[in-house]
């Protein structure tokens, strides 16, 4: 293999091969080399401004949103901390607000917090 791919979890490029796996030296995540070679390209999730998102990022809601199954709306400016990327889906993330748990949100309504 000519190049070693960046970490799919933290997206940093400090990775190395270890037996049949790749290992990220920064976050400790391990994934099989066979899966990396069969993927071809890694999925990049981007917010409404085009910034790449990763697991554990903090995002801000850019528009008031109605939440199915709840009478409480998400107001503009609501902070969603410690997001999780949805596997094989570049348009959705999972996260929790202070009042509503278990949210699945479209990234077009979010921006990465500074």
What does the pLDDT read at residue 38?
52
Q: What would the pLDDT profile of 53-77 be if each residue is shown by its tens digit?
A: 999 999 999 999 999 988 989 999 9
Instruction: Using the predicted structure, report yes or no on whether residue 2 has a pLDDT greater than 80.
Output: no
Q: What mean pLDDT is predicted for residues 11-16? A: 87
What does the pLDDT read at residue 3?
76
What does the pLDDT read at residue 87?
87
Q: Which two tokens stand for residue 18?
A: 């270890």
What does the pLDDT read at residue 74?
94
How many helices and strands (H and E) does the chain possess?
A: 1, 10
Report the chain's terminal Cα–Cα distance, integer Å. 36
Instruction: Using the predicted structure, report yes or no on whether residue 31 has a pLDDT greater than 90.
Output: no
The answer to whether the Cα torsion of 102, 70, 59, 65 is positive or negative is positive
């Amino acid at each position: 293999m000519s190049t070693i791919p960046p970490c799919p979890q933290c997206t940093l490029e400090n990775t190395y091969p270890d037996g049949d796996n790749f290992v990220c030296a920064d976050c400790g995540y391990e994934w099989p080399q066979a899966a990396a070679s069969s993927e071809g390209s890694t999925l990049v999730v981007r917010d409404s401004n085009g910034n790449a998102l990763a697991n554990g990022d903090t995002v801000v809601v850019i528009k008031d949103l109605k939440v199915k199954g709840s009478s409480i709306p998400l107001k503009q400016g609501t902070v969603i901390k410690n997001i999780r990327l949805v596997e094989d889906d570049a348009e959705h993330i999972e996260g929790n607000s202070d009042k509503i748990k278990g949210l699945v949100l479209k990234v077009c309504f979010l921006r990465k917090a500074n």
